[in-house]
């Protein structure tokens, strides 16, 4: 267990900078919050620096650091995604202070890289759906969201290993309001073999998809199963509660805090071994009757008029 030091009892006073993309979105926001919580719980000060992202499609180019951030006062930096790379990281490395990159690449002395598990949970969720008879499993997500393409590739690979065909990607814009996503979903639902499950790229997307399905008269999960990613309160409180994938942000935040505290104190840092994502199975998944569900046209009901 890591040491617990308060800032008022004469213990070591350290201040760490947390750099994260702005806007943070449904993944990086909770991840940054987990890091902050872990360090502040141990009695250290965290200065949060939102960094404008340099792109929208899983950007790998870092945005610019704020011009006056007081780097000399920081004992270490935790950078989420690619908010510290290239010349910025090299400049910081020259100080001899540690840099921990979450979902970013770093090599060299006092640099540590943590890569959250974004794919194995998707593969296990697809396998779970197939085990319980679902054969037309769709994938929905925001095209510009962090990690979406990586998770979509994991979805396609999992289907291929099961001998199942992928369905067209259901694109959603920010907030799920992009007409293209609704159009693709409507097209999938109007076919003779509509999807019998939808794997959404976030809990936010899962809620939006579930709302659209229910508005079209589909029952979850008896007609179509729906799952999310992130293990947020929005998924847990939906009716029915939505199954999801827990990326274990709390454990990632604790590991990042332990690494930077050890490195800042000159101690050997723990291994940057990220815990695998876990499935959170709820009522939006089918009952345990393998092979009994047969995809086909669903009975549709006209949504009630306000």
pLDDT one digit per residue (tens) for the chain, 306 residues: 333 333 333 346 789 999 887 766 666 778 888 899 989 988 999 998 887 755 444 344 444 555 445 678 899 999 887 677 667 777 787 888 899 988 766 667 788 888 888 899 999 999 999 999 999 999 998 876 777 888 999 999 999 999 999 988 888 865 545 566 777 888 888 888 889 999 999 898 899 899 989 988 999 999 999 999 999 889 999 999 999 999 998 888 889 999 999 999 999 988 878 888 999 999 998 765 544 444 444 444 444 343
Residue 162 CB burial class (10 angstroms; 0-12, 13-18, ≥19): middle
In CATH terms, the fold of domain 15-115+248-276 is: Rossmann fold (3.40.50)
Omega before 221 within 30 of 0, i.e. cis: yes
Going by C-alpha positions, the residue among 43, 41, 44, 55 that lies closest to residue 83 is 55
Give the phi and the psi of residue 171 in degrees, each rounded to 5. -80, 140
Q: What whole-number distance in Å separates Cα of residue 64 and Cα of residue 82?
A: 11
Residue with tokens 């809990």: 203
Other beta carbons less than 10 A from residue 64's beta carbon: 10
Other beta carbons less than 10 A from residue 250's beta carbon: 17
Parallel, antiparallel, or unpaired: how do β-strands 111-114 and 137-142 relate? unpaired
- % of the chain residues with pLDDT over 70: 76
Q: CATH number of the domain at 120-243, please?
A: 3.40.50.2300
Give the phi and the psi of residue 49 in degrees, each rounded to 5. -125, 100
Distance set, CA 115 to CA 72, 147, 234 (Å): 27, 11, 25
What tokens were used for 276?
A: 């695998």
Write out the residue limits of the CATH 3.40.50.2300 domain(s) in the chain. Answer: 15-115+248-276, 120-243
Q: What whole-number distance in Å separates Cα of residue 260 and Cα of residue 112?
A: 9
| Enclosing H/E stretch for 36 | helix 25-41
């Amino acid at each position: 267990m890591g040491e617990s030091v308060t800032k008022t009892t004469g213990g070591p006073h350290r201040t760490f900078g947390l750099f994260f993309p702005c806007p943070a979105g449904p993944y990086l926001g909770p991840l940054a919050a987990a890091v902050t919580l872990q360090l502040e719980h141990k009695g250290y000060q965290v200065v949060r620096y939102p960094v404008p992202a340099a792109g929208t499609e899983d950007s790998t180019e870092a945005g610019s650091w704020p011009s006056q951030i007081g780097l000399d006062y920081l004992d270490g930096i935790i950078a989420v995604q690619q908010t510290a790379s290239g010349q910025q990281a090299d400049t910081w490395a020259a100080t001899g202070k540690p840099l921990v990159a979450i979902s970013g690449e770093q090599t060299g002395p006092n640099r540590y890289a943590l890569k959250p598990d974004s794919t194995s949970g998707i593969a296990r969720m697809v396998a779970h759906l197939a085990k319980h008879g679902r054969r037309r499993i769709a994938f929905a997500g925001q095209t510009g969201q962090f990690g979406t393409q990586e998770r979509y590739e994991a979805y396609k690979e999992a289907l291929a290993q099961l001998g199942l065909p992928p369905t067209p990607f259901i694109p959603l814009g920010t907030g799920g309001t992009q007409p293209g996503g609704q159009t693709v979903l409507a097209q999938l639902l109007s076919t003779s073999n509509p999807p019998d499950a939808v794997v959404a790229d976030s809990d936010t997307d899962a809620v939006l998809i579930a709302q659209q399905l229910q508005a079209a008269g589909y029952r979850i999960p008896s007609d179509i199963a729906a799952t999310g990613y992130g293990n947020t309160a929005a998924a847990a409180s939906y009716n029915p509660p939505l199954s999801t994938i827990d990326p274990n942000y709390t454990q990632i935040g604790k590991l990042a805090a332990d690494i930077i505290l050890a490195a800042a104190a000159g101690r050997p840092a723990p291994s940057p071994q990220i815990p695998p994502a876990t499935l959170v199975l709820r009522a939006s998944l089918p009952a345990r009757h393998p092979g009994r569900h047969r995809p086909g046209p669903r009975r549709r009901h006209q949504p009630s008029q306000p």
